[in-house]
Homo-oligomer: A and B are copies of this chain.
Amino acid sequence: MALTEQSLVTIDDLSTGEIEAIFSLADEMSAAATTPDQGRSRQVGKLCRGKIMASLFFEPSTRTRLSFEAAMYRLGGSVITTMDIGATSLAKGESLADMARIIGSYADIIVIRHPWEGAAKVVADYSGVPVINAGDGGHQHPTQTLLDLYTIRKERQTIKGLKIALWGDLKYGRTIHSLIFALAKFGANILFCPSPGLEVPEHILQKLVTEYGGDVERLAPPKQTNKERLFPLDAVYTTPTNPHQLAMIPDVGLAVELKTGVDALYVTRPQKERFTTAENEELEKKYLVVDKKLLEDKAFRKTLVMHPLPRIDELAYDLDTDPRSQYFKQAAHGVPVRMALLALLLGAENTAVPRNNSKQVGIDYPVYRQDLDLKCPNTRCVSIQKTETKYLKPEFKIVNRDPLTLRCTYCEHGFEPQYIASSNWHEGKLSDKKYHRADSHWARIIKDENLIVFASAAEAESQGFKPSHYTGGRH
């Protein structure tokens, strides 16, 4: 089994076995770079000769774009680039699908960064060539996750059973969301240390438990004792393979457990560009800073200090020469990791992929089938953009029944509709075209294939539905 011709839209597209295969090849790529004149290295420099990578960046980026381009050049390939939405035909109103089809006929592989969440999936669906998501809005940035994991694995040999603390903006950082699921997949435990107001979204924690197993424990603020400043823990994820050690944390064991030390502290910058104007100033003021003083605590004695960069003020310069700091190495690892990924997706390398031993439970959620006006409520979702609605059909999965939760197939945003109905009212089992509250018992009764959801009562009524007796209150 090989990765050839696959796309990488979310980190879930890769099994742990595939990720291990990428890392093994990345090790070879690194080695080749240090001995440039030897056989393997010379071979590496020709692996993608004659291949073209399209590097499509519709959001600012230096690091990611240049890292991908350097990777392709190190493999002997070529790169065509577009860097700015203003300079592209998207400004003329072209759809992503059209662009994808055309660029797919020019290039052998596409790397795309785009502000719309789900954009990379659309490009992958239409281009006809492998596509790598280099960041789609607040959704995913899977190659960042790969190099984060690669860095941990290179320093600790394994990821399984480690304690990884995530620090700062856990709400808006796409890096963080990709990383959370990948860490779970590899059996790591996660300590959530958000900056106030930037807690990890509930749907991420839900997905973690539902799809990866293990437990999430929310820590109530009062329990945070005097370790609080040091460690603003608000939730802990314990991997199912490792339940006995960290499970006790919420009660009394936190201090005990932390004595064995945090393996990695992953710091993130405030994603100010995604803050609402109202929250901007307040959130920045309270933002947690990691510096040499914080790391004096025993728990951090051997901690790998990581950051996806760019940093602003959340990570002090006094750590730059500290041996625990990994962030510049992390960035440097981007090149061999991306070289390995490009070579594999382009079929230039055929490294055997070990048997899939992914931790992910491949849950096959039912698809929401009604063809009414339901739109993804995420304003950054690709499926609701003017140029894309001409051809994209919204698509949702029913990921929960209590509370009823739908997840957009494009941006993976989860939401809880307010009102529901059944499409088989004509079968007489339900009263004619009545709509119900989504938190009523109907939400658990209506069959998947009959379920209709409405964003509001007004929408339900505009579709010809009438309120049921109980829409006024919980029952």
Contacts and interface: CB of A to CB of B under 8 A. Distances in A.
A310 B50 contact: no
Nearest to A92: B310
A458 interface: no
B83 A83 contact: yes
A105 interface: yes
Nearest to A328: B101
Interface residues of A, number: 57
A370 to B, nearest CB: 22
A66 B309 contact: no
A78 interface: yes
Nearest to A332: B105
Contact of A331 (B50, B63, B105): B105
Contacts of A36: 50
Interface stretch (A3-11, A68-76, A241-249): A68-76
Contacts of A89: 60-63, 309-310
A45 interface: yes
A362 interface: no
Contacts of A62: 82, 87-90, 99, 102-103
Given A73-B78, A87-B83, A98-B311, A60 B92 contact: yes
Interface in A73-110: 73-74, 78, 80-84, 86-94, 98-99, 101-103, 105-107
Contact of A335 (B84, B106, B328): B106
A1 interface: no
A390 interface: yes
A425 interface: no
Interface in A34-64: 36, 45, 49-50, 52, 54, 57, 60-63
Nearest to A54: B66
Contacts of A273: 92
Contact of A70 (B70, B99, B107): B107
A91 B59 CA distance: 12
A42 to B, nearest CB: 8
A70 to B, nearest CB: 4
Nearest to A36: B50
Contacts of A87: 57, 60-62, 83-84
A102 B331 contact: yes
Contacts of A269: 92
Contact of A94 (B66, B70, B309): B309
A70 B106 contact: yes
A57 B78 CA distance: 20
A312 B89 CA distance: 10
A66 B80 contact: yes
A175 interface: no
A52 B70 contact: yes
A153 to B, nearest CB: 19
Contact of A93 (B74, B80, B94, B312): B312
Contacts of A98: 309-311
Contacts of A239: none
B60 A91 contact: yes
A69 B107 CA distance: 10
A470 interface: no
A365 interface: no
B335 A105 contact: yes
Interface of A: 36, 45, 49-50, 52, 54, 57, 60-63, 65-67, 69-70, 73-74, 78, 80-84, 86-94, 98-99, 101-103, 105-107, 269, 273, 309-313, 317, 320, 328, 331-332, 334-335, 390-391
Given A81-B81, A102-B309, 12 more contacts: A45-B49, A45-B50, A61-B89, A62-B89, A62-B90, A70-B107, A73-B78, A82-B83, A98-B311, A101-B328, A102-B328, A105-B332
9 contacts: A36-B50, A57-B87, A60-B88, A67-B106, A94-B311, A94-B312, A102-B309, A102-B331, A317-B391
